[in-house]
Every structure is written in C-alpha cells, then in structure tokens.
Amino acid sequence: MSENKVAIITGGARGIGKAIAETLARRGCAIVVADLNLEMAEATAKEIAAATGQKTLAIQINVSDFASANAMVERTLAEFGKVDILVNNAGLTRDKLIMRMEEADWDIVIDVNLKGAFNCSKAVVRPMMKQRYGRIVNISSVSGQAGQFGQANYSASKAGLIGLTKALARELASRQITVNAVAPGFVLTALTQDLSDDLKDAILKATPLGRMGKPEEIAYAVAFLASDEASYITGQVLAVDGGMVMM
C-alpha cells in the first residue's frame, strides 16, 4: 500500500499519467498532477480529489527546464511537507524516418523524455535522501527495449531512461530510495487512437495477448513499484506490453 504518501506524476493530466494519478490516489496517496497544460492538470486534480477524497495539487511544469522541475518540488514540499513518490511519465513523440527527421525533432524528444526525467529526479533526490525513503518510477517503452521503425529519437530517449533508471538505482540504494522503470507496449490513449488501421493490425499481430493495453494496466504496475511491497526491487524494468518484447 501507499497510504499517507505524497506522489508527483509528470504528464499527469491525461492518458497513462492520469490513470497513474487516479490509481495512486485510490491507494491513499496525496497527488501532485504536474503537466505543461495547467488548465487540464487542474481539471484532473479536481476530478481525482472528488472521486477519492485525497488531497491534490495541480502544477504547471516544463520538465525540460530544471528550474521548472525544481520549483515543482519546492511547491510540493511547501504544500505537503514531503515527496515520497516521483513518476516520470511526461513524454512526447515526433516520429519520422531518420532521413527526414529534423534536428529539432530529435532535440525536443530527448529534452522532454530523457532530460525531463533527469531534471525531475535531480530535483526530488535531496528531500528523498534526507527522509531516507523514496520511490522513483520512470515510464520507458517497448520502443526503448527493442527499437521502433521511424522512432530513432523516441526509442533513444526511452532506452536512455532505462540506463538512467539503473544508474540512479545504484546511486540511491543506500538511502532506501528505489528506482525502477515500467515499459508499456501499445496502450489505448490519445497518442495511439489516430494510428492507421494497418498499423493497429500490425501491432496486434506482434502482441501475443492480441490486444492493446489499457492505461490502468500500466498504472497498476507503477503502483506496485511505488509501494512498500516493492521495497526490495530496484534497478528493474517491468514490461507491461502483452508479451510484445520478451527479454
């Protein structure tokens, strides 16, 4: 369980991030919904508070900017007095074949998906070390484990998250801070609903369970890794992908 814990979820206003925020709230966490879209974050925070009775806070953040990440953590500490859980979920895609990929497409994906997780983790580590407790969960992807056609930037960012996860797990273990990653397969969200029927068929054929995942199925895995039940697990990558990547 995660009762009486304070959890920050970046990119928490919608999709997988929202499902993670809702799930952690139902398990007793106060929730910080951190998102670039403040209006959407506020709506999500209000919805979760009404549904669960938990305290919530909406914060606007640009994860690619360290000052913004640090301000998020400082405001969380001012509001709740501690931070127990950080879920680095914020991410985006700019899919193109490398011969057509602009430098800007590469830079923004790395800045948000990978540097963003670095910034938020760096900002939260000091208070977690001081309290000698913490859970950091990074949202990677099957694309980071196996690579994906037309996603050189996204695959590199998500593979980088796996390396970051393992390095931080080693650095922070002595302070009882665990760092793990969840690697989702293809999940039904706003990012995947507009895929072509041919691509959806190809995804289903490549997935042994024969279907896309649901946001809450990713959230359940995150909730476990963020819980006290997972206190002896660190530096691991949990694939939640219907069997698409078996390693």
By annotation, the residues acting in catalysis are 154
Residue type, 131: Q
Contact 55, 28 (CB under 8 A): no
Residue 122: how many other CB atoms lie within 10 Å: 14
What is the distance between the alpha carbons of residues 122 and 204, in angstroms, rounded to a whole number? 38
Spatial CA neighbour of 224 closest among 79, 24, 71: 24
The answer to whether the CB of 69 falls within 8 A of the CB of 91 is: no
Residue 179 to residue 78: CA distance in whole angstroms: 24
Summarize the chain as % helix, strand, coil (round to 5): 50, 15, 35
Q: How far apart are CA 144 and CA 134, in angstroms?
A: 25
Q: Which residues of 152-169 are buried (b: 16+ CB within 10 A; e: fewer)?
A: bbbbbbbbbbbebbbebb
